Amino acid sequence: MHTDPNTPDLRPDGALPPDPSSKGPLHGGPEAAEDERPYGVEPEFVEEIVALLRARERDAVLARLAGLHAADIADLIEQADPNERADLIDLLPAALDGEVLSYLNPDLREALIERFEPQELAAAVADLDTDDAVDLIEDLDAETRAQILANLPAEERALVQENLTYDEDSAGRMMQRDLVAVPEFWTVGKTIDYVRAATDELPEDFYDIFIVDPMHRVVGAVPLSRLLRQRRAVRIADLVTDEVDAIPATMDREEVANLFRQYALVSAPVVDAAGRLIGVITVDDVVRIIDEEAEDDLRKLSGSGDTGVFSGIADIARGRVGWLTVNLATAFIASGVISLFEGTIEQIVALAVLMPIVASMGGNAGTQTLTVVVRALATHELSSANALRVVGKELLVGMINGGIFAVMVGLIALIWYGPMIGVVIGLAMIINLIVAGLSGALIPLGLERIGVDPAVASAVFLTTVTDVVGFLAFLGLASLFLL
């Protein structure tokens, strides 16, 4: 169990805390099996909580949740059945922890947040860092958001509203406003004394101290590890890092993630158009962004829209129907190619049995290349500088795999239907896997060149190409050699 000392105590007055010697909610006590994961909640704990909820054992549920990390409470809520989930949520308003809501899946959070009064949500939001507060309320309807903001303290409300003015995918939207900034002329001793004395004004966790000039422009940063190793009389300006990776508030959050990845950053200052320090982004925010961007790319590649496991049935169906319709249209193109060879198929029925193999192998091979290339484009590992080399590599991979599977499929077809059909399907396999490798690389590169997100449209175009080429190669070669 991951215990958070800052998590509010959810136990009612007079309730006894859980017996430390008893089995923990996550792993079954100190003698738990070694293969159990060291985080989250186990299914057995979820079942125990559900049983207590059904028995109306409110105090027992609260006692079992006492000291549980906010992320684990969110995990518990997500795993519970919808009916028990509502009962569990109803236990929380008296001591609602905003961290719990911030860790919830966004789709589920949006549905459950309606169960709370604006005053309760405002109290929870006020305890969060600015970036988490913005993330919590940004997708709410305008009326609910206005009610929450109206119940926030004036200073907190102003900061949240300012973050909300930035674009949804920008650094300004995701930045945290609490940070540590000191002037250039301060010493190490004065800085340490300031950090110790101003605990209520400073963020709970921080990694760097930013050095600013009289105009509040960033001139450097000092990691805490470097600060604590110095004597008190040393000037803070003498400790600044050589370069500060200041992030414009308008920078896209995906670019922010790439910056952190490229230079192994743990925090970076955010500046406005005039270069003035207005916020900070830390690595925990970037981890979340990387996770969300990777998930977004996977959804786009599959054509499943913006829906997830907690989305409503109607939303899921609506999110998927668009690209399925496009795929249906492209499937008719492949069917049109097959119709050109009706006479050939009528004379050699074996072709109808074998031709799906060529198309499916090409589709799978192309998808493998496509996935690698789209992700490399997103992380800037692939650019115009090395694109030709990557395309050439995929061409060679397609030739090698085409040769391997041509032999395998050709031998099987030879045994079933004779040597000539084995030769035909083998040659078609080589052609389609080469084309699949090239298409899997060239399609996303081409889409990016014309300004279209490769993750959105690549899969449909790739499937069409591999199907059409696969059928053309197989049936065309069959017409040439077998009739």
The pLDDT value given to residue 21? 36
* Candidate ranges 4-8, 341-345, 354-358; pick with highest mean pLDDT: 354-358
pLDDT of residue 96: 60
Give percent helix, percent strand, percent coil of the chain, each to the nearest 5.
65, 5, 30
Q: What is the pLDDT of residue 441?
A: 92
**Residue 309: what pLDDT?**
66
Q: Which two tokens stand for residue 250?
A: 């308008």
Q: What is the pLDDT of residues 140-161, one digit of tens each?
A: 778 888 888 888 888 888 888 8
As a whole number, mean pLDDT of residues 339-360 equals 85
What backbone torsions phi and psi does residue 185 show, to the nearest 5 degrees?
A: -85, -5
Higher model confidence: residue 297 or residue 208?
A: 208
How confident is residue 10, by pLDDT bands cut at 50, 70 and 90? very low
Rounded distance, CA 347 to CA 258, Å?
57
Looking at the DSSP assignment, which residues form a beta bridge with residue 247? 270
**Cβ neighbours, 10 Å, residue 73:** 23
Q: Provide, rounded to the nearest whole percent, the portion of the chain with pLDDT above 70.
A: 87
Q: Encoding tokens for residue 457?
A: 């449209």
DSSP-assigned letters across all residues of 376-393: HHHTTSS-TTTHHHHHHH
- 4 pLDDT band, cuts 50/70/90, is very low
Q: What pLDDT shows up at residue 113?
A: 74
Gap between the Cα atoms of 405 and 182, Å rounded = 65
Over residues 220-249, the pLDDT tens digits come to: 899 998 999 999 999 998 998 767 889 999
More confident call, 321 vs 365: 365
User: Where do the domains of the chain lie, and which CATH numbers do they carry?
Assistant: 43-169 (1.25.60.10), 181-282 (3.10.580.10), 303-482 (1.10.357.20)
**Rounded CA separation 86/263 (Å):** 44
Average pLDDT, the chain: 82
On whether the CB atoms of residues 474 and 341 are closer than 8 A, the answer is no
User: Over 90: is that where the pLDDT of 427 sits?
Assistant: yes
pLDDT (tens digit, 9 = 90+) per residue, 281-292? 999 888 888 887
Predicted confidence band of residue 424 (pLDDT cuts 50, 70, 90)? very high
20-24, 59-63, 210-214 — which is least confidently predicted? 20-24
Q: Is 7 left (phi over 0), alpha (psi -120 to 50) or beta?
A: beta
pLDDT at residue 281, rounded to an integer: 93
Q: Looking at residues 114-138, what average pLDDT do you find?
A: 80
Instruction: Give whichever of 12-21, 29-38, 129-138 has the largest mean pLDDT.
Output: 129-138
Q: What pLDDT is recorded for position 16?
A: 39
Tokens coding 438: 């090239």
d(CA 263, CA 280): 16
What CA–CA distance (Å, rounded) separates 437 from 462?
Answer: 10
Write down the pLDDT at residue 148.
84
**Residue 431 or residue 155, greater confidence:** 431
Q: Which residues pair with 223 in a beta bridge?
A: 208
pLDDT tens track for 236-283: 989 987 678 899 999 999 899 889 988 888 999 999 999 999 999 999
* 206 vs 25: CA distance, rounded Å: 31
Decide: helix, strand or coil at residue 218.
Answer: strand
| Mean pLDDT computed over 73-79 | 85
Handedness of CA 237, 241, 243, 246 (dihedral sign): negative
